[in-house]
């Protein structure tokens, strides 16, 4: 009986680490075991581990779980003549422009952008600005993935593994 709680915990932890919605780790969750039974013949460490994993899956179906994505703070320095194109490109990447300021013949554009939209941005920015713009970014926070995008991510994951 002493191995019951650690076995359940192991099943729960493995399920959370491997992800529930789309294979990404599940965080900020509290699990409480309220009750259980033990039978000398039918109970095993593996059975309780599986029970912990299945309980998390069942709870997840009842919960309103969401996918979160990392959001980056971004600062783009661009010559004035490319500002419109740069802002347009950022907007196409789901960026939220939070402000602009002038510094000489440069415009500094501040905003936030999902990390998923950033790969290849340095090349695109060089192309838009003839190599004269630069950018800096740092992690800011996490936000819920828009439902239309999340549905595609979950669908792709469940389809890849033949899950319902």
Q: What is the pLDDT of residues 27-53, one digit of tens each?
A: 888 888 887 777 777 778 888 888 889
- Do 29 and 49 fall into the same domain? yes
Instruction: Report pLDDT digits (tens) over 59-110.
Output: 888 888 888 999 999 999 999 999 999 999 999 999 999 999 999 999 999 9
CATH for 135: 3.30.70.240
- Do 51 and 92 fall into the same domain? no
The structure's pTM equals: 0.74
DSSP state of 104: T
Rg of the chain over Cα atoms, rounded to whole angstroms, equals 23
- The closest of 67, 88, 65 to 76, measured between CA atoms, is 88
3-class state of residue 7 by DSSP: helix
- What is the phi/psi pair of residue 73, to 5°? -80, 130
- Do 81 and 128 fall into the same domain? yes
Domain extent at residue 105: 68-144
Contact present, 131 and 151 (Cβ < 8 Å): no
Contact present, 83 and 127 (Cβ < 8 Å): no
């Amino acid at each position: 009986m002493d191995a019951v709680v650690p076995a359940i915990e192991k099943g729960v932890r493995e399920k959370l680490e491997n992800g529930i919605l789309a294979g990404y780790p599940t965080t900020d969750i509290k699990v409480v075991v309220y009750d259980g039974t033990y039978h000398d013949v039918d109970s095993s460490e593996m059975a309780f581990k599986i029970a912990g994993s299945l309980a998390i899956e069942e709870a997840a179906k009842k919960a309103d779980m969401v996918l979160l994505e990392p959001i980056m703070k971004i600062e783009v320095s661009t010559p004035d003549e490319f500002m419109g194109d740069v802002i347009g490109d950022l907007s196409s990447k789901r960026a939220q422009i939070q402000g602009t300021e002038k510094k000489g013949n440069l415009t500094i554009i501040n905003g936030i952008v999902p990390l998923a939209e950033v790969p290849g941005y340095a090349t695109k920015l060089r192309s838009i600005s003839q190599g004269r713009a630069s950018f800096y970014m740092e992690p800011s926070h996490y936000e819920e993935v828009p439902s239309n995008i999340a549905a595609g991510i979950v669908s792709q994951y469940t389809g890849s593994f033949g899950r319902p």
